[in-house]
Structure 1
Amino acid sequence: MVDKNRKKFYRKENTFKYVALVSACASILAVLVICFFIFSRGLPTIKEIGIKNFILGTKWSPTANPASFGILPFIISSFYVTLGALIIGVPTGLFTAVFMAKYCPKKLHSTFTAGINLMAGIPSIIYGFFGLTLVVPLIAKFINGNGLTMLAAIIILGIMILPTVISLSQAAINAVDESYYEGAIGLGATKERAIFTVVLPAAKSGILSAIILGMGRAIGETMAVILVAGGQPRMPRGLFRGVRTMTMNIVTEMGYAAELHREALIATGAVLFIFILLINLLFVISKNRGIKHD
Structure 2
Amino acid sequence: MARSTERQQAKPHLVEEWVGRIYTFLCILLLIVTIFSMVYFVASKGLSTFFVNKVNIADFFTGVKWSPDGVPPLFGALPFIFGSFSTSILAALIAAPMGICASLFMVEIAPKFGRKYLQPVIELLAGIPSVVYGFVGLSVIVPFFRNVFPGQGLGIAAGSVVLAVMILPTITTITTDALAALPSGLKEGSYALGSTRWQTIYRIVLPTTLPALLTGVVLGIARAFGEALAVQMVIGNAPHIPHSLFESTSTLTSAITLSMGNTAMGSAQNNALWTLALILLLMTFVFVFIVRWLERRSKI
Normalised by the size of structure 1, how large is the TM-score? Answer: 0.94
Matched, 1:50 2:63: no
What's the offset of the Cα at 1:108?
5.0
Tell which deviates more after alignment, 106-115 or 188-197: 106-115
Matched, 1:214 2:226: no
Alpha carbons 1:74, 1:246 under 8 Å: kept: yes
What's the offset of the Cα at 1:144?
4.7
* CA distance, structure 2, for counterparts of residue 166 and residue 208 of structure 1: 11
Tell which deviates more after alignment, 228-237 or 139-148: 139-148
| Partner SS for 1:145 | coil
Cα displacement string for residues 8-31 of structure 1 (whole angstroms, at most 9, x for unaligned residues) = 233323322332222222222221
Matched, 1:21 2:29: no
What's the offset of the Cα at 1:2?
4.5
Alpha carbons 2:138, 2:233 under 8 Å: kept: yes
In structure 2, runs of 5+ residues without a counterpart are: none
Letter in 1 for 2:36: L
Matched, 1:84 2:93: no
What's the offset of the Cα at 1:209?
1.0
Cα RMSD, aligned residues only: 1.5
1:41 maps to which of 36, 39, 45: 45
Q: Structure 2 matches for 1:269-288, cutoff 5 A?
A: 269-288=277-296
2:276 maps to which of 253, 261, 268: 268
* CA distance, structure 1, for counterparts of residue 230 and residue 100 of structure 2: 23
* CA distance, structure 2, for counterparts of residue 116 and residue 15 of structure 1: 41
For 1:146, the equivalent position in structure 2 comes to 152
In structure 1, runs of 5+ residues without a counterpart are: none
For 1:165, the equivalent position in structure 2 comes to 171
What's the offset of the Cα at 1:116?
2.3
Q: Structure 2 matches for 1:126-141, cutoff 5 A?
A: 126-141=132-147
| Partner SS for 1:255 | helix
Alpha carbons 2:106, 2:113 under 8 Å: kept: no
Normalised by the size of structure 2, how large is the TM-score? Answer: 0.93
Alpha carbons 1:92, 1:162 under 8 Å: kept: yes
What's the offset of the Cα at 1:82?
1.1
Identical pairs, percent: 32
For 2:245, the equivalent position in structure 1 comes to 239
Please identify the structure whose Cα radius of gyration is greater: 2
Alpha carbons 2:68, 2:269 under 8 Å: kept: yes
Letter in 1 for 2:162: I
Letter in 1 for 2:191: I
For 1:110, the equivalent position in structure 2 comes to 116
* CA distance, structure 2, for counterparts of residue 245 and residue 43 of structure 1: 20
Alpha carbons 2:150, 2:246 under 8 Å: kept: no
Q: How many residues are matched?
A: 292
